[in-house]
Structure 1
Amino acid sequence: MKITKTKKLSIKKVILSIIAILATLFVLISLFAGNYLVNYSIGRSGDGGNRTVALEIPEAADDTERTIAEGKIVQQELNETFLAEHPGQTVEISSADGIRCSGVYYQNDDSHDWVIALHGYRGDHLSATSLAQHYYTHNYQVLTPDLRACGDTDGNYLGMGWLDRKDILSWIDWIVAQDSDARIVIHGISMGAATTMMTAGEDTPDQVVAFIEDCGYTSVWDIFSSELKLRFGMPEFPLMYTANLFAITKAGYSFKEASALEQVKKCEKPMLFIHGTADDFIPYEMMDTLYQAKPGDNKEKITAPGAGHGEAMYLLGEEYWDDVFAFLK
């Protein structure tokens, strides 16, 4: 039985229609998923929060896990004592683009040493208490800002360090207005570390003397792409590309432009890099990439063997802080 030319054209049209429908569905699903990813990952009310941390020692813990768990318990007790004795003062500024930024200032009389201690992903100023407590003990004036869309700071979308870098410049101006002789250190963990590095690439006043990043990522694109593969088993194409379009439209920045790596390349001031080798959130390899990108020899790095994300200070204990303050000296 021969297929007529008319039937062939009809079959071809059906096939093309099916392809067109599938392509349209693919685009629509990609757009829906991209929009969801943006809301999930950087939306203020999104579900992409920090991983839970248990303050207990597992029965089957090895020596490293036990040390980390014990370190967390000790630090939690120090934090509670610090906050009870030093409630701090809430301070507010307005960002360059009109966002109301909130933070807590722990005043240490007669000291010109200052630290801006920066919390991690979806945290707030209280998440930086472990940093604040140690710096305060070392006679630093301490400022713990809530980053954009976190805590009491306004904003609908997380800046992931990129939008926050400009807010930190405004906080630096606030400190200099209080103390023109200030010597300012910026120390951040995770997203706070990325904020630290992104700020380091900006033109900061002479009062800013050093940067310390603990388990920061190379770029927002890199970390979300990594999480997409590790947590959801999905490739970056097409979802990262459609999500990036929504990030530009809704949050006002591109995941690709939000690069700590590119900012570090412009940093001329001292920087300390810290990372745990067992970090399953921000790959340990990112630290070496960032370290190599930092120009000059005014840089050091600390490796915490076996430490997970943000766990270097708990595993290393006093050694962590000895190294930090030795670097600052």
Structure 2
Amino acid sequence: LTLGIHGESMGAATMLLYAGMLEDGADFYIADCPFSDLKEQLSYQLKKEYKMIPSLLIPIADFILRLREKYSIRHVSPISVIENIRNPILFIHSENDDFILPAMTKELYEKKQGPKMLYLAVNGRHAQSFNENPEDYRRVLDEFLKTYVVNGEFYG
């Protein structure tokens, strides 16, 4: 039995964190438009959407999070655990995504050791790679699966 996990946006970041901390036994992963670091993502969005100064707000939010939930924003960082993932990852991102920048996926791809592929969709905004590029998305997915899964057997 071959098991793959696909995540999109926050789901992709969560999947990478889970795999990087636990290497959960999935044979491959598909990360569609993940962020690489929550603090960076929040900083970007605070500046872009709200014209706020992240260096003032993020420490306050982090303090409240640590106090109430017992973890820190700095722990939500797929880039910090990506090197722990040994199994293949297909990274996907739309080039026109302005919610989570494609540079974050490129950074994850560069830091990931071992088997990996990167697909940057020409069309679409955030989480629209498949909807706006269905043929290319399927072609890349097929290529990834043929490279790492042959006749139901895993090759990594």
TM-score range normalised by the length of the shorter chain: 0.7 to 0.9
Q: What amino acid maps onto 2:100 in structure 1?
A: I
Q: What amino acid maps onto 1:200 in structure 2?
A: A
- Cα distance in 2 for partners of 1:288, 1:204 equals 21
| SS across alignment from 2:48 | helix
Any conservation in 2 of the 1:229–1:236 contact (CA below 8 Å)? yes
Q: What amino acid maps onto 2:3 in structure 1?
A: I
- Cα distance in 2 for partners of 1:217, 1:203 equals 19
Q: What is the Cα deviation at residue 272 of structure 1?
A: 0.6
Q: What is the Cα deviation at residue 204 of structure 1?
A: 2.9
Q: What amino acid maps onto 1:228 in structure 2?
A: L
Q: In the alignment, what sits opposite 2:84?
A: 266
- Cα distance in 2 for partners of 1:205, 1:282 equals 26
- Cα distance in 2 for partners of 1:247, 1:259 equals 15
Kindly indicate whether residue 45 of structure 2 is the aligned counterpart of residue 242 of structure 1.
no
Kindly indicate whether residue 46 of structure 2 is the aligned counterpart of residue 253 of structure 1.
no
- Cα distance in 1 for partners of 2:132, 2:91 equals 16
- Within the candidate set 317, 324, 329, 2:134 is matched to 317
Q: What amino acid maps onto 2:80 in structure 1?
A: E
Q: Which runs of 5 or more structure 2 residues have no equivalent in the other structure?
A: 147-156
Q: Which runs of 5 or more structure 1 residues have no equivalent in the other structure?
A: 1-181
With the length of structure 2 as denominator, give the TM-score of the two structures: 0.87
Q: In the alignment, what sits opposite 1:308?
A: 125
Any conservation in 2 of the 1:276–1:308 contact (CA below 8 Å)? yes
Kindly indicate whether residue 128 of structure 2 is the aligned counterpart of residue 299 of structure 1.
no
Q: In the alignment, what sits opposite 1:327?
A: 144
Q: For the aligned residues, what is the CA RMSD?
A: 1.4
How many pairs were matched up? 146
- Cα distance in 2 for partners of 1:251, 1:225 equals 21
Q: In the alignment, what sits opposite 2:11?
A: 192
Any conservation in 2 of the 1:199–1:263 contact (CA below 8 Å)? no
With the length of structure 1 as denominator, give the TM-score of the two structures: 0.43
